[in-house]
Amino acid sequence: MALATTHVTRHRITVAAPPEAVFALIADAAGWPQVFGPTVHAEIEQGAAGGEQLLRIWAFANGEVRNWTSRRSLDPVGRRITFRQLVSSPPVAAMGGEWQVAAVEGGSEVVLLHDFAALDDDPAAVRWIEQAIDRNSAAELSALAAAAEAGADGVGVDGAEAEGAEAEGAEAHGALRFTFSDSVRIDGAATDVFDFLNRADQWPARLPHVARLDLSERDGVQYLEMDTRAPDGSVHTTTSVRVPFAERGTIVYKQVKVSPVMAAHTGRWVIEPDPDGGPGLLATSWHTVTLDPAGVAELLGPDATTAQARARVRHALGTNSATTLRHAKEFAEQRR
């Protein structure tokens, strides 16, 4: 049997940021959904930050979310990261590549290499893969440059991850990226709570702030378009993709169409036993948001601070999440 043809692509960009900062963004796989538009969710299944890692990735490819498992090797000294898919998603038969970050005058040069083979060497599949690589590589390199050039704005944490002076310090620093959470204790079954959160198609009848929701599902990935009512009566349309993990009691998601004040918004619903040892459950909504400084200035005014934008986003998203959790609690406890 003849071996499948290997195809090679090369993409590059010059970034006005130190190579160490650029490499750190690429190395932080768990943070990719906040940096790279095509990436919906990424998990480090095993491995350390300075060596071999096994990754599970969900990302858009030509408009659809695909998932695969990759092994990658990190070389912080040489600022290289090689990767190879262990389990690919059709029509990809095999894929690998390498990130290369080098110091140049004024910043860094980033090269992204891919090599791939298509199932049965199908010419249509080759074209599909090339288009996906070209589209995603261009988007990822552009986003990488924007994130690196934005500088070290820090990461702020609110909710369950924040404590005292650390939270105050992060807020005072005005971090563009921040994480917060809302939780509720539920005296009910985890399966009922998960059912409420997972069956988003039922939300218009179950949640007062959801005016319309269209849901479709392909290969375990949910695609949502939702109209949400604001307290002032206005309606806002958002689109998201979600990946449910019933066995974990978790649903992760990425908002594809975000408010102009945000550059990225990801989140997760988590159902777990009461950490205090009680008989019930703890259901938590997590949000991670990266603000867009230009969008903040346009919508909130040129004098608006990052802290003000954080507070506004925190209130808007947290209010809807808390409402959803409250109704999930009522739903599960009535079924108990």
Domains 7-149 and 155-335 share a fold: yes
Residue type, 257: K
Neighbouring residues of 308: CB distance < 8 A, sequence distance ≥ 6: 300
pLDDT tens for each residue of 35-89: 999 999 999 987 765 678 999 999 999 889 999 999 999 999 999 999 999 989 8
> CA distances (Å), 155 to each of 15, 83, 177, 263, in order?
21, 27, 5, 14
Q: Looking at the predicted structure, is the pLDDT value of residue 157 above 80?
A: no
The tokens for 111 are 């090269």
The whole-model pTM stands at 0.88
Band (159; pLDDT cuts 50, 70, 90)? very low
Residue 76 — φ and ψ, nearest 5°?
A: -65, -30
* Res 170: pLDDT: 37
For residues 222 and 200, is the Cβ–Cβ distance under 8 A?
yes
Question: Which is more confidently placed, 159 or 216?
Answer: 216
Helix (H) or strand (E) holding 267: strand 262-273
Query: Position 7: which residue type?
Result: H
pLDDT at 190 over 70: yes
pLDDT digits (tens, 9 = 90+) for 230-284: 878 889 899 999 999 999 999 999 999 888 899 999 999 999 999 888 889 999 9
* pLDDT for the residue 152: 45
Give the pLDDT of residue 151: 64
Tokens 């070389």 identify what position?
A: 75
pLDDT of residue 203: 98
Confidence of residue 336 (pLDDT cuts 50, 70, 90): confident
Distances (CA, A) of 286 to 85, 157, 250, 269: 29, 11, 11, 6
For residues 104 and 18, give the distance between their C-alpha atoms in angstroms, rounded to a whole number.
9
Q: Confidence class of residue 316 from pLDDT cuts 50, 70 and 90?
A: very high
Mean pLDDT of 123-143: 96
Say what the pLDDT of residue 31 is: 93
Which whole number is the average pLDDT over 100-109?
97
Closest CA to 114 of 4, 11, 5: 11
Model confidence at 2, pLDDT cuts 50, 70, 90, reads: low
pLDDT of the residue at 232: 80
DSSP string, 206-253: H-TTEEEEEEEEETTEEEEEEEEE-TTS-EEEEEEEEEEEGGGTEEEE
The mean of the pLDDT values for the chain is: 90
**Nearest residue to 282 via CA among 272, 292, 291:** 272
pLDDT at 46: 77
Determine how many CB atoms are found less than 10 A away from the CB of residue 252: 22
Could you tell me the fold of the domain covering 155-335? Alpha-D-Glucose-1,6-Bisphosphate; Chain A, domain 4 (3.30.530)
Q: Does 154 have pLDDT greater than 80?
A: no
CATH H-level superfamily of 7-149 = START domain (3.30.530.20)
Domain residue ranges in the chain:
7-149, 155-335
d(CA 112, CA 94) in angstroms, rounded, equals 17
How many C-beta atoms surround the C-beta of residue 95 within 10 A? Answer: 21
Per cent of the chain over pLDDT 70 is 91
